[in-house]
Amino acid sequence: MKEVYTINDLTSRALLDAGADKPARLAVIGHPVAHSASPKLHQAALNAAGINVRYVRIDIEAGQVGECFKRMRALGFIGCNVTVPHKLEAMEFCEVDPAAARLGAVNTISFGETATRGFNTDGPGFESAIQDDFNLLLNTRNVAILGAGGGAGKAITTQCCHAGARKLLLVNRTREKLQPLIDHLKNLKPDMEIIGITFDDPSLAAHCLGCDLIVNTSSVGLKPGDPSILPKTCLRKEHLVYDTIYQPPVTPLLAAANALGCRTANGLSMLIHQGALAFQRWYPGSEPLAVMRAAMAHLIAG
């Protein structure tokens, strides 16, 4: 068995399942994906339910998502999770659930008998995580979303809009990806205050200091040597800071926030909540949340 498979392994069931005692029928696809804790999360739920299925990691490069789905269907996969950077590309190759369409990205795929369907559990998973970690409702806060132009950023931003956040500050590397999102949000909530700026905007610090909750939805902080996505001048000790990255558990952003005395949390709670919702898409009526929390207990404790 491999820790990480590639699209080249999706050519035959014999190749994919060599050395394994269970067939691989669920997966997470991404690039990179070796860091993903999703296999441990979902395998625990599968084992607890007595389901004879293996959950694997598959590293898929940009432009390969359509072919990947085609091969997974041919091999009898039940579904897959979709992570960075494929949450937007995946929408092109599935029937998108209306709720996922509103959130603007897909992170969960179900391979039915006649159709490939795409869902989004990131948005509701994020809202549950914020309630767990900070004991607050999104409608009580001004929220800054860093990396709002990406797949996870769009889903989380739209979830915040639906939940009635008081104000949204959207920050992205380029302005081009922000304007369609802002237009979409304005259609949903015409009266909501929405500000869109780039990371090099001179007003970044002033806008961030006016927010209560800061959320990093970008991949900055995932790789060794990455800087903090925000300078310290953008942070104050009263901030709640959430980073959707969970490996490493303390990103440069969280380290900077911790040094100031901010309350912080990483993306492990979101991973668990969105994972449980995805599992329920594949196995309706299941209740995997407690088992998934237990499976991640070592990371939570750490």
Structure tokens given for 81 = 């999770």
Pair 105, 151: CB distance under 8 Å: yes
Peptide bond into 248 cis (omega under 30): yes
Cα–Cα dist 31/61, whole Å: 6
Active site residue ranges: 87
- Chain-centroid distance of CA 230 in Å reads 20
Cα–Cα dist 23/13, whole Å: 8
Residues of 67-84 as b/e, b for ≥16 C-beta within 10 angstroms? ebbebbeebebbbbbbbb
H-type alpha helices, the chain: 13-16, 38-48, 65-74, 98-103, 122-134, 151-163, 178-188, 204-209, 252-260, 268-282, 289-295, 297-301
Of 98, 56, 115, nearest in space to 81 by CA? 56
What angle is formed at CA 32 by the lines to CA 213 and CA 150, rounded to 5 degrees?
Answer: 40
- Chain-centroid distance of CA 108 in Å reads 10
User: How many residues does this entry show for the chain?
Assistant: 302
How buried is residue 225: exposed, middle or buried, by Cβ count under 10 Å (0-12/13-18/19+)? exposed
